[in-house]
Amino acid sequence: MNQDFKTCKCKDCELKELFFENVRDNELANICKLKQENTYFKGEDIINEGEEIKYFMYLKEGLVKLYRNAGNRDQIITFAGPLDFVSILSVFSDSNFNYSVTALEDSVVCCLDINTVKQIASQNSNFAMGLLKKMSTLSDNIIKTVLDIRRKNLRGRIAYVLIYFADEVYKKPSFDLPVSRKEIAEMIEMTTENVIRILSEFRKDGILKIFGKTIEVIEMERLKRICNFG
């Protein structure tokens, strides 16, 4: 057991400090024993809607989209990056996933046995409280984002997305879009054609430079005004 524990390095994982700080060493060892780490390439499916929830999954590296199928169209719920919990939404309310997860960039996912995690949560209340806080924050964020976006017009929505990638994800005004125009449309409920049209408008107005998937925000202030008043 100790052997497993040493080889798996969970004790030194950056996640431990962030999240498993309240987990005792012997509990961590139990988690480690049943852990597996998977690599997914860009475009690969990590979770399929309807699947049974067997693992508590978090992202070590990469970028993924969480989305659901609605009629003949997908709706992107949110994105997740390193150290985000990919399976946190339904884990405690359902036995099956009601959304899918796909890698947008090559990603490494750490999968912990869900029953072990639940068992530890029901024995270690500090750990449970950590889960509670994490889940609450994530849900609040998703709800806030969806409500923010739905009250904006199309220009405002595109501005919102661009600011999101520039400020939240890449933290710089130039970046490569990790998503297609179609996926942007699925994120903010509009048609692909209009995503393209409005990006072109922003380019013509000198707000952006666009080279395929590469975006450079030239006039961030103006973009923020469009986002706030749109």
Partner DNA sequence: CGCGGCTTTGATGTTCATCAAGTAAAGTGG
Partner DNA sequence: CCACTTTACTTGATGAACATCAAAGCCGCG
Q: Which two tokens stand for residue 109?
A: 């996912």
Site for DNA in 152-211 (CB under 7 A): 153-155, 180-182, 189-194, 196-197, 199-200, 210
Site for a copy of itself in 149-208 (CB under 8 A): 150-151, 189
Residue 119, contacted partner among DNA, a copy of itself, none, CB below 5-8 A by kind: none
Instruction: Find the shortest distance in angstroms from Cβ 51 to a copy of itself.
Output: 16
Site map 100..139 versus a copy of itself, x via CB under 8 A:
------------------x--xxxxxxxxx-xxx-xxx-x
Which of residues 7 and 211 has its CB atom nearest to DNA in the complex?
A: 211
Length reported for the chain: 230
Give the Cα separation of 64 and 61 in Å (integer). 10
Site for a copy of itself contains 142 (CB under 8 A): yes
Sheet containing strand 174-176, edge to edge, reads 174-176, 214-217, 208-211
Site for a copy of itself contains 140 (CB under 8 A): yes
Please list the residues that pair with 209 across neighbouring strands: 216
Residue 34, contacted partner among a copy of itself, DNA, none, CB below 5-8 A by kind: none
Which of residues 142 and 210 has its CB atom nearest to DNA in the complex?
A: 210
Instruction: Find the shortest distance in angstroms from Cβ 73 to a copy of itself.
Output: 7
Q: Which two tokens stand for residue 208?
A: 């952006």
- Exposed/middle/buried for residue 144 (C-beta within 10 Å: 0-12, 13-18, 19+): exposed
The DSSP result for 9-29, as a single string, is: -GGG-HHHHHTGGGS-HHHHH
Quick count: other Cβ atoms within 10 Å of Cβ 54? Answer: 12
Q: Could you list the residues that contact DNA (CB under 7 A)?
A: 153-155, 180-182, 189-194, 196-197, 199-200, 210, 212-213
